Amino acid sequence: MKPRIDLRLRIKPGRSWAFILLLAGSEMLAQGTASDYKRSEALKEKLRDKLYNAPTAINWLPKSNRFWYLTRTRKGSEFIVVDAAKRTRQPAFDAQQVAQKLAEATGKTLDPYKLPFNTITFGKDDESVEFVAEGSVWQYGPGSVAFRKKGPFTAEVNDRRYWGEGRDETAKRTVTSPDSNWTAYVKNYNVYIKSRQTGAESQLSFDGSAGDYYANSIQWAPDSKKLVATKLRPAEKHLIHFVRSSPTDQLQPRLENREYLKPGDALPARRPQLFLVESKQHLPVSDALFNQQFSLSNLNWRADSRAFTVEYNQRGHQLYRVLEVNASTGAVRTLIEEQSKTFIDYSGKRFRYDVADGKELVWASERDGWNHLYLYDGPSGLVKKQITKGEWVVREVVHVDEPTRTILFAASGKQPGQDPYLIQYYRVKFDGTDLTALTAENANHVARFSPDFQYFTDTYSRVDLPPTTVLRSAKDGSVLMELEKADLTDWQQAGWKAPEVFTAKGRDGKTDIWGVIIRPTNFDSTRTYPVIENIYAGPHGSFVPKTFMANAFAMHELAELGFVVVQIDGMGTSNRSKAFHDVCWKNLKDAGFPDRILWLQAAARKYPSLDLNHVGIYGTSAGGQSAAGALLFHPDFYKVGVSSCGCHDNRMDKMWWNEQWMGYPIGPHYAECSNVTNAHKLQGKLMLLVGEVDDNVDPASTMQVADALIKAQKDFELVVLPGVGHSSGGDFGERKRRDFFVRHLLGVNPPAWPAPAPAAP
């Protein structure tokens, strides 16, 4: 590809064509040059920590109406404490004194507005504070403990894995009854109890065996007269294997593995069994209502010990039941049943709250086409009332208040004329009356409620609106105090351009598709710019940013190289209607591309500076699958793609995520959606990045795409990241990605990588 030169210039009188062409060939109008890279790097430094008066997380004190937060002002970082009841706002402690005391103790010079910690813990008196600095825990407060070193700080070791090995359900574990008179445990595959008074041991079950044993997850009833134990028929484990080529503790590579179930694998069967302590009786529990398990979870006793409940997710995710087991008879009945012709979004929208020990239940469901709340009668299992209703969605239940029979919740799409993804907060009665908006500003709201739910902080913003933080009453949403209003002056002086929120109709010609457009700081509307889409189309959420991106600069940095960068939520993603979401079912290759392409075409009609002859795309994980899929399934539109750690074939990826959206049993649709199966269709320029020890998405998935591309004699680039897990590649991957787009969308050879800084002597 030839270097990209823009000839759409405004020609002034008296200028010759020779002059114009000479000017067009100069570096001033080129894109992807060394100066663009320098400006891209400089932008991050110009913006970082230059947004003032925008608090980090709000931290309410336990059993208190006080909270603290950290905010950056023009002085530096300041800790603030607020008393909601008294309406006071003041420094959380004397920063000058803390800096002086800590400097004396450590021998280091400290700035009170650059203290070496960013979190604090209040003491029981809500006055003294503790913090970690220089490897120790320190306490500062009034009185005799004005300042002291409490001792060394021991950091928790986090051997982070995406999917752990799981709890050993055969390990010896003793569970004490609530009245402390009994212990229960599993021995020789069966359930035993022992009197703590006499030491006498009794065997309760006799049907356990090596292949069908009782797990150690025993749960006593509150009255200590009954217990439930789960009988487990295990399935064969599925291991994925890695070679860690460059371990830090040895020269030779290391072979590693993880337990990792994939779609279609056999699953263990769990069957809760009931035991009566006094009579030593085993009451078998019929599994007729839960015998095709994907999962059996949330086993809980009723407070009065009359029954226990458990939730059953049928494999295929089209049937979900809340079951109750009678503790006197072992009889099982259905309290709630959800059915769907596509899928039940149990991982993203499940909510249940049992009122008055099960006399009523609050339940979330999409049965009317939108995610709403329902009130069930516990004894009959019948719906008493649909609590919320309308073409909008409940996003989160914050609190259920039984005495007042009210619910605090977050929702989106209810306010007319607003972006349907913007979150607002509401309260409503159990019977659906007295629905009250607690927030209303045209922005995305993030609320943090006090422990007694009488107050809440509200930080609201949009991608094009800096955040404002206020204290509100949880009764009616009235503003009690304005706490912070962000200062964007330095960003504006740096030339930062706010993302533009843009909408266009989707494939049905009716539904609005929402996204953002990000332009470089030197954007010139008379020129054209290749377009790069940042894609993540996982059905488990929606992904276009809705809050102000205070520290998310990557898309802006990429735009500085001479691109317009976009992000879009197409059909098949969540947080809209059920019909909108269902587009993904058994069809992950769709990834909303028909909507994305129409959105981009509409944007280009409005803004001719968008060059749709040069469109790139990148993404990680599910986004990596979609980025590669764009070039395979829509090669006439997407020309350059960078795919990181993609789950390229849904049969190769984790079971729980893929069977949720692609269904069970495994069918031909899995192969139809596979980037491996369709690799021969590649026409554009593709880069694959993968971490060699990725335990979120099996790295073999990327290698199988590479193998298929090689067999189809397709040219592509493969970047394997030694010792790296699930990742976009860090700084190295980011530079590779940017260079790839500059080379193939702009037709420019990117500048040489900067030499590493000299090692310290």
- CB of 554 closer than 8 Å to CB of 594: no
* pLDDT value at residue 12: 40
* Beta bridge partners of residue 539, listed in sequence order: none
Kindly give the pairing relationship between strand 201-203 and strand 190-195: antiparallel
Q: What is the pLDDT of residues 220-231, one digit of tens each?
A: 999 999 999 999
Nearest-5° angle of CA 229, CA 235, CA 237?
A: 120
Residue 672 pLDDT > 90: yes
* pLDDT value at residue 19: 37
Q: What is the pLDDT of residues 144-169, one digit of tens each?
A: 668 999 999 987 766 556 655 566 77
Spelled out in words, what is the top-level CATH class assigned to the domain 39-49+491-746? alpha beta
Confidence band of 16 (pLDDT split at 50, 70, 90): very low
- CB of 544 closer than 8 Å to CB of 569: yes
Phi then psi for residue 95, to 5 deg, are -65, -35
Question: Could you give the CA distance from residue 113 to residue 94 in angstroms, rounded to a whole number?
Answer: 11
Question: Could you give the CA distance from residue 59 to residue 325 in angstroms, rounded to a whole number?
Answer: 40
Q: Model pTM? A: 0.94
Residue 447 pLDDT > 90: yes
Task: Please give the helix or strand (H or E) that residue 428 lies within, else none.
Answer: strand 423-429
* pLDDT value at residue 165: 57
Closest CA to 499 of 459, 541, 465: 465
Average pLDDT across the chain, whole number: 94
* pLDDT value at residue 220: 98
Taking residues 200-212, report their average pLDDT. Answer: 97
* pLDDT value at residue 28: 39
Taking residues 52-66, report their average pLDDT. Answer: 94
DSSP, res 756 = P
Confidence band of 172 (pLDDT split at 50, 70, 90): confident
Closest CA to 44 of 553, 489, 466, 486: 553
Confidence band of 3 (pLDDT split at 50, 70, 90): low
Domain spans of the chain?
39-49+491-746, 59-152, 168-293
Confidence band of 761 (pLDDT split at 50, 70, 90): low
Residue 731 pLDDT > 60: yes
Question: Could you give the CA distance from residue 648 to residue 627 in angstroms, rounded to a whole number?
Answer: 10
Q: What is the pLDDT of residues 462-520, one digit of tens each?
A: 999 999 999 999 999 999 999 999 999 999 999 999 999 999 999 999 999 999 999 99
Question: Could you give the CA distance from residue 238 to residue 256 in angstroms, rounded to a whole number?
Answer: 13
Count Cβ neighbours within 10 Å for each residue of 599-614 and write b for 16 or more, e otherwise.
bbeebbeebebbbbeb
* pLDDT value at residue 164: 53
Q: What is the pLDDT of residues 125-136, one digit of tens each?
A: 778 999 999 999
* pLDDT value at residue 24: 42
